[in-house]
Amino acid sequence: MTQQQDIKNAVEILRKGGVILYPTDTVWGIGCDATNADAVKRVYQIKQRDDSKALICLVDSDARLQRYVKNVPDVAWQLIDSLNDADAKPTTLILDGAINLAENLIADDGSIGIRITHEAFSKELCFRFQKALVSTSANISGEPAAQNYCDIDPRIIEQVDYVCWTRRQEHKPHKPSSIIKLEQDGGVQIIRK
């Protein structure tokens, strides 16, 4: 199967409110339409995760990021510019004022964790889908993140609607993203290095 066909199949499932397993710029992820509350609820169930623990989203561009955050602070743009280098570690920003997303995806304080992906497959997937995509590690809550497809618990594979073919054969180390929380007042808090 070509990568383009894989993306087309995944987008079709996402548009129907389905849940997918896919390779990201970090570890393998469980994904769904970030604007669909029912799909987001299924992701929490698959992960066996309390829905008070917010999930993160992937987008493909600065423009798409602005659709989901009321006011992106200047410090966020400075960080994003510094992360545009292909060698930069993927970094998720937690930003206040989440908008246009499923309510059960947004943290109690109104923030959202969001990352612009530069990895070819996930970037193209987000671009073709034209919306933010939930991206949470493909593991049962509390277990290690699945660095490669072969690390994913079969219980997760059985519960999703589509498993991407791209990068299934890969066997190399992948790490979760760094997480930085940015406050509207300019405060910066490193959650995960």
User: What is the structure's pLDDT at 26?
Assistant: 94
Q: What domains can be seen in the chain, in order of their start residue? A: 3-192 (3.90.870.10)
Angle at alpha carbon of residue 2, lines to 167 and 40, rounded to 5°:
60
Positions of the chain with pLDDT lower than 50, given as ranges: none
Instruction: At 154, list the tokens.
Output: 């079969």
Report the side by side order of strands in the sheet with 56-59: 133-134, 56-59, 112-116, 91-95, 178-182, 188-192
Distance CA 47, CA 156 (A): 8
Instruction: At 115, list the tokens.
Output: 């990352």
- Answer for the pair 155, 68: CB distance below 8 angstroms, yes or no: no
Strand partners, 33: 133
User: What is the structure's pLDDT at 32?
Assistant: 98
User: What is the structure's pLDDT at 83?
Assistant: 76
User: What is the structure's pLDDT at 57?
Assistant: 97
pLDDT, tens only, 90-127: 999 999 999 999 999 999 999 999 999 999 999 999 99
